[in-house]
C-alpha cells in the first residue's frame, strides 16, 4: 500500500478544479479507462506529494510541467520527487505543457509504451499480505528457488512482512 497523507486531500480537490489547459487535454484522453482499460486518477496524493495523474495498476505517475519547471531549483525539486516515487516502486513520466498541447497522440503512445514495459504485480485482496499472496501463488505454480525470488520481487511490500 502506498503512503497517503490525508492532509493533502483538500489541496488535491482544489487542484482538480483548477487544472491547466494541458492537464485537461491529457485528462480527456486517459480518463474513464480509455487507455486499454487502465484507471487513472488526477491530482492524487501519493506519499507527501500530489501527482498530476496516477495509474495504480501500471504503477505509473504522469506529470505535466509548465515553464516554471525549467528553473534549476524546480529541476532539482522534480529530481528528488521522482526519486521518491521510484523508491515507492512507481515509474514517472514527465511531459511539458507544450508537448501535451501540440502532440497529444504521441504522448498517449508514450504512456501506453511505459504501461507495457514492466510486468505488473497482482493486486492484493482485502486483508492479504505479500506473504499470503506468495503462498497462494506458490501453491498454484511449482517454482524453482529463482522463480520464487522473482514472484517475491513482483509482489508489493506491506507493513509487517
pLDDT, tens only, 68-82: 767 788 899 999 999
Residue 134 lies in a domain: yes
pLDDT of residue 114: 93
Residue 88 lies in a domain: yes
Residue 111 lies in a domain: yes
Q: Which cell is 160 given?
A: 509487517
Strand order in the sheet with 41-46: 41-46, 49-55, 60-65, 91-96
* CA 104/CA 91 separation, integer angstroms: 20
Assess whether 57 and 135 both reside in one domain. no
Q: Which cell is 25 given?
A: 487535454
Assess whether 98 and 159 both reside in one domain. no
* CA 161/CA 41 separation, integer angstroms: 28
pLDDT of residue 96: 95
Assess whether 88 and 135 both reside in one domain. no
Assess whether 151 and 101 both reside in one domain. no
pLDDT of residue 124: 60
* CA 33/CA 128 separation, integer angstroms: 26
Residue 155 lies in a domain: yes
Contact 25, 104 (CB under 8 A): yes
Residue 1 lies in a domain: no
Assess whether 68 and 138 both reside in one domain. no
Total tally of structural domains belonging to the chain: 2
* CA 32/CA 25 separation, integer angstroms: 14
Assess whether 72 and 125 both reside in one domain. no
pLDDT of residue 117: 82
Assess whether 147 and 108 both reside in one domain. no
Contact 151, 137 (CB under 8 A): yes
Q: Which cell is 69 given?
A: 519547471
Task: Tell me the torsion sign for CA atoms 76, 78, 79, 85.
Answer: positive
Please identify every stretch of the chain with a pLDDT value under 70, giving residue numbers as ranges: 69, 118-161
Provide the residue range defining the domain that includes 142. 121-161
Q: Is the pTM above the cut of 0.75?
A: no
Q: CATH no. for residue 37?
A: 3.40.960.10
* CA 153/CA 138 separation, integer angstroms: 14
Where among 117, 135, 151 does a domain terminate?
117
pLDDT of residue 141: 37
Assess whether 86 and 158 both reside in one domain. no
Assess whether 62 and 113 both reside in one domain. yes
Amino acid at each position: 500500500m502506498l503512503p497517503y497523507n490525508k492532509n493533502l486531500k483538500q489541496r488535491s480537490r482544489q487542484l482538480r478544479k483548477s487544472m491547466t489547459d494541458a492537464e485537461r487535454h491529457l485528462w480527456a484522453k486517459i480518463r474513464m479507462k480509455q487507455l486499454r482499460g487502465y484507471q487513472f486518477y488526477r491530482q492524487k496524493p501519493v506519499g507527501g506529494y500530489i501527482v498530476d495523474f496516477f495509474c495504480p495498476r501500471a504503477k505509473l505517475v504522469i506529470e505535466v510541467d509548465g515553464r516554471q519547471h525549467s528553473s534549476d531549483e524546480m529541476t532539482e525539486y522534480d529530481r528528488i520527487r521522482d526519486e521518491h516515487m521510484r523508491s515507492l516502486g512507481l515509474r514517472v513520466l514527465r511531459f511539458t505543457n507544450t508537448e501535451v498541447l501540440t502532440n497529444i497522440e504521441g504522448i498517449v503512445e508514450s504512456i501506453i509504451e511505459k504501461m507495457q514495459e514492466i510486468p505488473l504485480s497482482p493486486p492484493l485482496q482485502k486483508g492479504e499480505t505479500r506473504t499470503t499472496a506468495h503462498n497462494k501463488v506458490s501453491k498454484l505454480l511449482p517454482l524453482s528457488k529463482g522463480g520464487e525470488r522473482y514472484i517475491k520481487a513482483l509482489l508489493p511490500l506491506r507493513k509487517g512482512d
